[in-house]
A and B are shown apart, each in its own frame.
Chain A
Amino acid sequence: AQSVTQPDIHITVSEGASLELRCNYSYGATPYLFWYVQSPGQGLQLLLKYFSGDTLVQGIKGFEAEFKRSQSSFNLRKPSVHWSDAAEYFCAVGQPNAGGTSYGKLTFGQGTILTVHP
């Protein structure tokens, strides 16, 4: 069964500093990988996704993530954090069905809470 691990429960950075949030997955084939962000009291919003091709993917709000198959990782990065980036971030993995025609279910990590100091 697929699984996702986000090793850091809580990260604090200063505004303007760079950010890297870690995500490791366990899956036997090429995964579909996602990062979502959740602001307080809100639902989850898709930041970016990786399906195939270029292992460095760009997302919204200046975020990017790099898929590293050898490390089973899909870490999220941002070169300069803004106070508005304070939120909880979730990594997720999708598993294709036997025919590869659909990817119904996502498995989410436990989330990483990001605090941004002024």
Chain B
Amino acid sequence: DAGVIQSPRHEVTEMGQEVTLRCKPISGHDYLFWYRQTMMRGLELLIYFNNNVPIDDSGMPEDRFSAKMPNASFSTLKIQPSEPRDSAVYFCASSLIWQGAQNYGYTFGSGTRLTVV
């Protein structure tokens, strides 16, 4: 298995532009999470999905952020318009639903480093 795949690895964009981050979870995993990591705030959960349905989006900072999961193998996180304070590393993670404790644990992608100038 190739693991959780995120693209792009790096993104530099100008303030006000739309940014789309992409994630392909591990096949068969039915939870998908989007995290943001910054030096100041550490790892923040933005939103997570179960079976493609958003379960908790309370961590999405504002209406400029939106996330979708149109099918079990793809998710996007969109920022429109982007601002310099959105600069961070964005991680996607997937997990198998708990069918026994041994199955639980996230697998993280390598992240997308976003820089908004």
Q: Do A and B come from one complex?
A: yes
Q: A108 touching B43 by the CB < 8 A rule?
A: yes
Contact A52 B106 (CB under 8 A): no
The docked-state distance in angstroms from the alpha carbon of A25 to that of B105 is 18
Closest to A106 in B: B106
A115 in the interface (beta carbon within 8 A) = no
What number of B residues sit within 8 Å (CB to CB) of A? 24
B31 close to A46 (CB less than 8 A): no
Complex Cα spacing A41 to B56, Å: 27
Within 8 A of B (CB), among A25-40: 32, 34, 36
Residues of chain B within 8 A of A107, CB atoms compared: 45
Residues B45 and A110 in contact, CB atoms below 8 Å apart: no
Determine if A103 and B4 form an interchain contact, defined as CB atoms under 8 angstroms apart: no
State the interface size on chain A (CB cutoff 8 A): 25
A67 contact set on B, CB distance < 8 A: none
Chain A residue at minimal CB-CB distance from B108:
A43
Contact A52 B48 (CB under 8 A): no
One of B12-20, B74-82, B96-104 at the interface: B96-104
How far apart are A4's CB and chain B's nearest CB, in angstroms? Answer: 10
Residues of A within 8 A of B111 (CB): 42-43
Chain A residues closer than 8 Å to B56, beta-carbon distance: 104-105
B43 near A49: Cβ-Cβ < 8 Å: no
Residues of A within 8 A of B109 (CB): 43
Inter-chain contact B106/A104, CB cutoff 8 Å: no
In the complex, A46 Cα to B97 Cα: how many Å?
Answer: 17
A46 and B105 form a contact (CB under 8 A): yes
Which residues of chain A are near B108, meaning CB under 8 Å?
36, 43-45
Which residues of chain B have a CB within 8 Å of any CB of chain A? 4, 31, 33, 42-43, 45, 48, 50, 55-56, 91, 93, 95, 97-98, 101, 104-111
- Interface set of A (CB-CB < 8 Å, partner B): 32, 34, 36, 41-46, 49, 51-52, 90, 94, 101-111
